[in-house]
Structure 1
Amino acid sequence: MHVKRTRVHGIPARRAAPVGAFFTAVLAAILLTACGGGSGAKASQTAAKVNKEEITVHQINFVLQRQPNIKPEQVDAASRQILERLIDQELAVQKAQDLKLDRDPRVVQQIETAKREIIARAYADHLGETAAKPTDQEIKQYYNDKPALFAERRIYNLQEINIEAKPDQFESIRAKLQGAKTLPDFLEALKADNFKFVGSQMVRSAEQIPLNNLDAIARLKDGQFIMNGHPNGLTVLFLAGSQRQPATEAQARASIEMFLLNQRRAELVAKDIKSMRDNAKIEYVGKFAEAAASAPAGTPPAAAPAPAVSDSPTGASGPVDNNELAKGLGIK
């Protein structure tokens, strides 16, 4: 199991790049052109000329607006850096066009797909603007309903062990865990019986853990664990230690307000999409018609329940969704 690493994007390497790399540059250039510039732009709005093409101040501002937490005194330096990246991007686009990569069917399809996603997102944003802001009482209620996130917020030092095992071996593994005095003792017992496992350790604050897992983890005391079965074996989540760092309602207010507002926006979009589906003529063809007949649109298939192991008296009750947990904890 590996901790997910954040990739830092920079200037593309000076070597032959796959079609997807050129697509990124082509699409970004299309978006920036749509936001300003082009051959008809006024000279005063031109920031640089790259061969016969212009890069405009509007393009720089468009990128600048998408950069979070830039201080006023950093704007000029950031603008110059953005301009240099746009120059590199324009050169890549021009080279791609010379090679006729913009006509490659895969590139055309990706551009069209991205265009549809952008238009659909614009619809969602437009509809979301009609959502009512949460009231003071609703914000206070959410704060009170989520003590693990706020009033009883903790920083968790978690150790996760994923064990390959069959369902009939779960009880034996649980007995080993209950009988071990320390986590290393438990791992040695697994090795002795030739169980394969991988482990990881991470420090996560309450808000970095998916909401559907947080309550179960918050019930743990230091030194306790949760054991949960899944199709490929068992996951043991051990709380090595924790530190209380509560957040006041005033500190959490802005985050709660944004969360509730985004939630309402998503509900509006889902409701409107459902209404449109109900009133649209949708015809499935071929193999998709057979699938649609057995699973009506809008009804997700039920997930098969994973075999679960009850927690020990010294552990905590309540299974944890391992897939969501892994995603929330930033592990693969």
Structure 2
Amino acid sequence: MGKLIRSRAMQSGCIIAACFLASCGSKKVPDQTIVTGDNFEITLTELDQILRAAPPVQKEQVAPARRAILDTLISQKLLAEAGEEAGLDKQVQVVQAIEAAKRSILAQAYARKLVGEDDAPSEAAIRKYYDDHPEKFSRRLKLNIVEYSVPQGFPNINEYAALLDKEGFDALSTKMAADSPDTKQLASSRLSSELPPTAAKILSSLKPGSDISYATPGQVHLGRVQTIEIDPQSFEEAKFEISEAIKSERREQTVAAAVQELRKSRHIEIVNKDLKVQAR
């Protein structure tokens, strides 16, 4: 099965305490200076802008994480100002990168404006989603796999994937031992809920002893299924995840529809013959 199955990253973590984003409850002037130096300052607003985008951390890590982010901001601002003084902001590549960043930020901001505040899906909608995706919830499986996990840029990775598909995991193991003896087999577990909808047919055909290839961010996994266990998730356990999934789908549909209308109104046409072929 030469297809690579890209797993859906599972999000986790504790909610950041409110004081992580601002000032632990005390009201302060929005542009209050928090770092000073010779012709240098950083305001609370600048720090808060970064903190709002920071990933969640454990409560006891709030203070050290906040300080680490501030130190990073100081370094970044010093280096940026030094770069401007050196005239790097006039270099073509830098100008292009700034324009690309501006374009991305504006596009994301407009997408958020289109979506607005998501209404929470109804209990009936959540239940329907649960019932319509048994492979993710009520009939969720856990696959215990022995595999080789290598970076996506690993040498000859396509050759190894083809070997697994044609001759099986034993042949792959022999080849890996000869070519890359430092790359060891690993034992891993994957839930069926981590696999994309396109993997449904493959998933239904898997059994102990089946060879499998799939991808996670930055990694390619080539292995063999050892055992398959039933690991269902109850409706109550899945409700929050389903609610977020439904809202995410709504956002994607809203933005996709808006982009389609914008393309039509602006008569967008790809004229390069090599790029005109529709992606598959």
Q: TM-score range with shorter-chain normalisation?
A: 0.5 to 0.7
Shift of 1:90: 1.7
Shift of 1:218: 4.6
SS state at 2:136 partner: coil
Shift of 1:262: 0.8
What is the CA deviation profile of residues 275-315 of structure 1, one whole-angstrom value per residue up to 9, with x for unaligned ones? 1221224466xxx35568x65xxxx34x4xxxxxxxxxxxx
Please, which of 78, 82, 86 is the counterpart of residue 65 of structure 2? 78
Shift of 1:47: 0.7
Question: Is 2:82 the counterpart of 1:95?
Answer: yes
Alignment of 1:3-42 (within 5 A): none
Partner of 2:209: 223
CA contact (8 A) 1:152 1:244 kept: yes
Alignment of 1:99-114 (within 5 A): 99-114=86-101
What is the CA deviation profile of residues 186-241 of structure 1, one whole-angstrom value per residue up to 9, with x for unaligned ones? 558x86xx9xxx996543233332231145225422223469xxxxxxx9863122
Aligned counterparts of 1:151 and 1:137: Cα–Cα separation in 2:
16
Aligned length: 233
Question: Is 2:202 the counterpart of 1:209?
Answer: no
Aligned counterparts of 1:64 and 1:236: Cα–Cα separation in 2:
38
Partner of 1:62: 49
Read off the aligned partner of 1:125 and give its amino acid letter: R
Alignment of 1:138-177 (within 5 A): 138-159=125-146, 164=159, 173=166
Aligned counterparts of 1:147 and 1:53: Cα–Cα separation in 2:
57
Question: Is 2:256 the counterpart of 1:273?
Answer: no
Alignment of 1:114-133 (within 5 A): 114-129=101-116, 132-133=119-120
CA contact (8 A) 1:50 1:91 kept: no
SS state at 1:155 partner: strand
Structure 2, unmatched stretches of 5+, are 1-27, 149-156, 214-220
Shift of 1:164: 4.1
CA contact (8 A) 2:30 2:44 kept: no
What is the CA deviation profile of residues 119-168 of structure 1, one whole-angstrom value per residue up to 9, with x for unaligned ones? 01111111122655422112111111222211222332335687749x9x
**Structure 2 vs 1, CA of residues 42 and 236 (structure 1 numbering), >3 Å: closer, same or farther?**
closer
Aligned counterparts of 1:43 and 1:265: Cα–Cα separation in 2:
31
Aligned counterparts of 1:187 and 1:290: Cα–Cα separation in 2:
40
SS state at 1:223 partner: coil
Identity %: 27
CA contact (8 A) 1:129 1:265 kept: no
Structure 1, unmatched stretches of 5+, are 1-40, 178-182, 228-234, 304-332
Partner of 1:263: 249
**Structure 2 vs 1, CA of residues 114 and 154 (structure 1 numbering), >3 Å: closer, same or farther?**
same
More relative contact order in 1 or in 2 (CA 8 Å, sep 6+)?
2
Shift of 1:106: 0.8
Partner of 1:241: 227
Aligned counterparts of 2:66 and 2:202: Cα–Cα separation in 1:
46
CA contact (8 A) 2:141 2:232 kept: yes
State the structure with more CA Rg: 1
Shift of 1:116: 0.9
Read off the aligned partner of 1:223 and give its amino acid letter: G
Read off the aligned partner of 1:77 and give its amino acid letter: P
**Structure 2 vs 1, CA of residues 131 and 274 (structure 1 numbering), >3 Å: closer, same or farther?**
farther
Aligned counterparts of 2:164 and 2:269: Cα–Cα separation in 1:
47
CA contact (8 A) 2:164 2:222 kept: no
CA contact (8 A) 1:157 1:203 kept: yes
CA contact (8 A) 2:164 2:172 kept: no
